[in-house]
Amino acid sequence: MRCFRAAAWVLPMLLAACAACAKSAHHHPLTAVDRYLEKEMRRQEIPGLSLAVVRNGVPLYVKSYGVATLEHGVRTRPETVFQIGSIGKQFTAVAVMMLANEHRLDLDAPLSTYLPEIPASWSAVTPRLILNHQSGIPQLISPKRQLVDLAHDYTDAQLIELATSQPLDFEPGTDVSYSDTGYVLLGFVINRVAGMFYGDMLQQRVFAPLGMNHTRVISDADIVPNRASGYEKAENGALHNQSHVSPALNRTADGSLYSTVTDLIKWDRALYGDAVLPQGQLERMWSVDPHRNGQQPLYHYGYGWENNRLRDHRLVEYDGNWQGFQAVMSRYVDRKLTIILLTNLSLCRTERLAHAVAGLIDPLLKPYPESIPDSSAKKTGLFRAFLGEVAADEGDLSDLSAAARRRLVPAAIKTLRRDLRELGPILKLTLVEQRGGGAEERVYRVERRDMLEYFTVRYATDSKIDDISLFSEY
């Protein structure tokens, strides 16, 4: 009953918040938010965008910009329905955790317990290792491989066969690498264990109880009120309509959902209580599991979320890109601030937008600058050279202290090597923050073609690298 009571009072509050926003938009910092987003929409050519700024579950600012459809010039509204891409993974993870809490699914059982048709060589893969991207299950679509025809309407059995047609990228539990394919398989696990389609389980146990009336699995055939059109950019920069994707590939559990900012506000509020899962279980989803050998992964994946720290503030977030849409939900946990941002342009930089908006709302969350004066250009140069050596698999890692070797070798260095190779050359590396004295800590901004990465590097008193942590921003 708690969930239904929450849904009853959230909607009037949302409407009141939207009205209040319209009256207060001329006040700082909301004016700055408007100016920033409107400027970025022009620069990135984003047709439409919906924003929600939420503090402790209560919306502070809900506003939409631009158009939901270019063909008809329909204005974007808070009720506009967007695809949310991989933000949907957190809902898949919640469904898995619900089944685990009910002792219907064991997170540490072999995946073959639920999908007996998978190959014997996958015997070490478990649902938990899929949730935290430590399974080694390769991507079906990547720069190296294109195993899926997006226009083909596959059966579940065909998708499972495709997903298991490649060898694992690494031994499960020894490395971390993002895998949409793993979440596709989790959807099939949910279907079998729950005895119903995973989307129906979410509708019955999450969306309906929370009053998330516009959140559902994608369907091109159904009439979906307020649905936005998705857009992609061609090589020449021209916008065109979203590419066609078969119905089967728009039903998978790796991120095939519609939602709205108003629904995701309700979701954010539910995450402060026990309506969806007990808080202890939610915290488990927002934690980072160590590798099998006890080392911490370089990438901070929880279960359907990524877990980072920005200037010592905890940031739990996820972004999503699919079929002409890009979205992000960023929760600054210790500041109780959430930024929800939905767009109808694939591959626009939503994480960067959300982080900038958070900094305009809360000065303690101000993003790093592009650079600051560097008191030791030599040290910066040596770090760039170190990244080059890791990428080339050269050198003896003599730049690392004994503590760093225990912490980073082999798992984190292996992950970093793959990251450096897959994301392409470093375009620019600058110092953006510096603190401490002898045991100095420096934050480097590393610019790549499609990604910004922030490396926090802690140095020992002898100037050897003592630790490295990585925060990525799309």
pLDDT of 18 strictly over 70:
no
| Range name among 17-21, 42-46, 143-147, 436-440 with the lowest pLDDT average | 17-21
Q: What is the CATH number of the domain that holds 83?
A: 3.40.710.10
Asked which of 187, 208, 238 is the last residue of a domain, the reply is 187
Angle (deg, nearest 10), helices 377-392 and 411-422 = 90
354 with 274, same domain: the answer is: yes
How many Å apart are CA 122 and CA 125, to the nearest integer? 6
Q: Do residues 289 and 134 lie in contact, with contact meaning Cβ atoms separated by under 8 Å? A: yes
Q: Do residues 473 and 455 lie in contact, with contact meaning Cβ atoms separated by under 8 Å? A: no
- At residue 465, what is the residue type? I
Each residue's pLDDT tens digit, 304-324? 999 998 888 999 999 999 999
How confident is the model at residue 27, as a pLDDT?
52
Domain membership of residue 160 (yes or no) is yes
Domain membership of residue 99 (yes or no) is no
pLDDT of 303 strictly over 60:
yes
Each residue's pLDDT tens digit, 47-60? 999 999 999 999 99
How many Å apart are CA 323 and CA 282, to the nearest integer? 29
- Torsion, Cα 49 55 56 57, to 10 degrees, reads -30
pLDDT of 6 strictly over 80:
no
Each residue's pLDDT tens digit, 221-280? 999 999 999 999 998 999 999 999 999 999 999 999 999 999 999 999 999 999 999 999
How confident is the model at residue 2, as a pLDDT?
27
pLDDT of 109 strictly over 60:
yes
- Band of the pLDDT at 19, cuts 50, 70, 90? very low
Domain membership of residue 100 (yes or no) is no
- Band of the pLDDT at 438, cuts 50, 70, 90? low
How confident is the model at residue 141, as a pLDDT?
83
How confident is the model at residue 273, as a pLDDT?
96
- What is the maximum span of the chain, computed from C-alpha positions, in angstroms? 65
How many Å apart are CA 304 and CA 210, to the nearest integer? 19
360 with 431, same domain: the answer is: no
Domain membership of residue 27 (yes or no) is yes
Asked which of 365, 393, 409 is the last residue of a domain, the reply is 365
Asked which of 318, 341, 365 is the last residue of a domain, the reply is 365
383 with 243, same domain: the answer is: no
Two structure tokens written together for 131: 């949730």
Each residue's pLDDT tens digit, 465-474? 999 999 999 8
Domain membership of residue 370 (yes or no) is no
| Range name among 12-26, 233-247, 451-465 with the lowest pLDDT average | 12-26
60 with 125, same domain: the answer is: no
How confident is the model at residue 29, as a pLDDT?
77
346 with 237, same domain: the answer is: yes
80 with 117, same domain: the answer is: no
348 with 257, same domain: the answer is: yes
224 with 248, same domain: the answer is: yes
CA separation, residue 10 to residues 2, 3, 55, 84, 146 (Å): 12, 11, 14, 21, 44
The count of other CB atoms within 10 Å of the CB of residue 352 is 17
Domain membership of residue 344 (yes or no) is yes
228 with 326, same domain: the answer is: yes
| Contacts for 377 with CB less than 8 Å, ≥ 6 apart | none
Cis bond before residue 410 (omega within 30° of 0): yes
How many Å apart are CA 96 and CA 457, to the nearest integer? 36
Domain membership of residue 102 (yes or no) is no
261 with 346, same domain: the answer is: yes
Domain membership of residue 104 (yes or no) is no
71 with 206, same domain: the answer is: yes
Q: What is the CATH number of the domain that holds 408?
A: 3.10.450
Q: What proportion of the chain, given as a percentage, has pLDDT over 70?
A: 93
Residue-range definition of the domain harbouring residue 154: 112-187
Helix (H, G, I), strand (E, B) or coil at 354: helix
309 with 346, same domain: the answer is: yes
- The whole-chain average pLDDT of the chain stands at 92
